[in-house]
Amino acid sequence: MLAAGMLLPVAIILILAIGILTHGPIVRLDAVVSEGLFAHRAPWTDRLMIALSALGDGSERTTATVLIVMFLLYRRRARDALALSVVMIASAILAPSLKTAFHFARPSLLYTGADAFSFPSGHATSAAALFITLAFICGRGRSRNGRWLIGGLAALMIGLTGLSRIYVGAHWFSDVVAGLALGSAVGVAGLALAAGGSPNTAPWEGWVVLVILLAVAAVLLPKTYRKGVRLYGPYLARSIGHAVDPGHLGGPGRPIAPPPGL
């Protein structure tokens, strides 16, 4: 089970990378998805997607992780704390390393240097790793319906994070899928590490984790949202009608020049 949970995501990443390098159908699908999102844009969705993207900012994820780990240690759940720490550290190392290795460009010129590389999405990777691990930890000791609810909320946050990254022009669809695959693989490894932890999790502990996440968002989101507006706002304002110009799709399957309006 663990091997399958690790190998399948790796296979997905490799298949996507090969498809991009060979200008396969995934390249056209990337453009179609981005164009489809832009065709349904509105001011309120711009604000919502920038906010959702800001929730995945490194400062928010790091702060939330540190606080949750401290809470788990306070509750003498060292194995769970270790699993969450390892998962988030691994995500922070693997995603940038793969970006540098693949050298695939983003759909927009929002970043420079090593940050200009997009495959896989770091936000999607960390979201999948974090929420998969938290869903497992917080789901212990709950009814089946409770576990389904927690899993559903985790899946929703993961999906919205990925969607927001495509919407704001930071990533392609394939970047997000690869990030979700990588984060899932890391999350599955975290589940294996946490599996030996205490099975008797008090239901209220899950509420504490939720409060921590909401508190971190309440404190840091205003700052990260303003940062997102400065970064993505000009791109969104100038890209109405054209998320990507397929005529600029170059090697390896990525834009070699900014789309019209950028």
> What CATH number corresponds to the domain at position 113?
1.20.144
pLDDT at 245 over 50: no
The mean pLDDT value of the chain amounts to: 83
For residue 91, the enclosing domain spans 2-15+46-238
Q: Is residue 260 part of a domain?
A: no
Within a domain: 23: no
pLDDT at 112: 65
How many other CB atoms are found less than 10 A from the CB of residue 29?
15
Residue 224 lies in a domain: yes
Is residue 128 a contact partner of residue 158, using CB atoms and an 8 Å limit?
yes
Q: Does residue 241 surpass a pLDDT of 50? A: no
pLDDT of residue 255: 44
**In a domain? residue 255:** no
Does a structural domain hold residue 259?
no
Residue 29 inside a domain? The answer is no
pLDDT in tens, 161-209: 999 999 988 899 999 999 999 999 998 888 887 776 566 667 778 889 9
Q: How many domains does the chain have?
A: 1
**Model confidence at 35: pLDDT above 90:** no
Residue 40 resides in a domain = no
Q: Is the backbone peptide bond immediately before 252 cis, with ω within 30 degrees of 0?
A: yes
**pTM (predicted TM-score):** 0.84
Give the span between the Cα atoms of 206 and 143, in whole angstroms.
13
The verdict on residue 252 lying in a domain is: no
For the chain, the helix, strand and coil percentages under 3-state DSSP, each to the nearest 5: 75, 0, 25
Q: Is the pLDDT of residue 81 over 70?
A: yes
pLDDT (0 to 100) of residue 105:
81
105: phi then psi, degrees, rounded to nearest 5:
-85, 155
Q: How confident is the model at residue 134 (pLDDT cuts 50, 70, 90)?
A: very high
pLDDT band at 262, cuts 50/70/90? Answer: very low
Grouping H, G, I as helix, E, B as strand and the rest as coil, residue 48 is helix
The structure tokens listed for 122 are: 């770091």
Q: What SS3 state is found at 250? A: strand
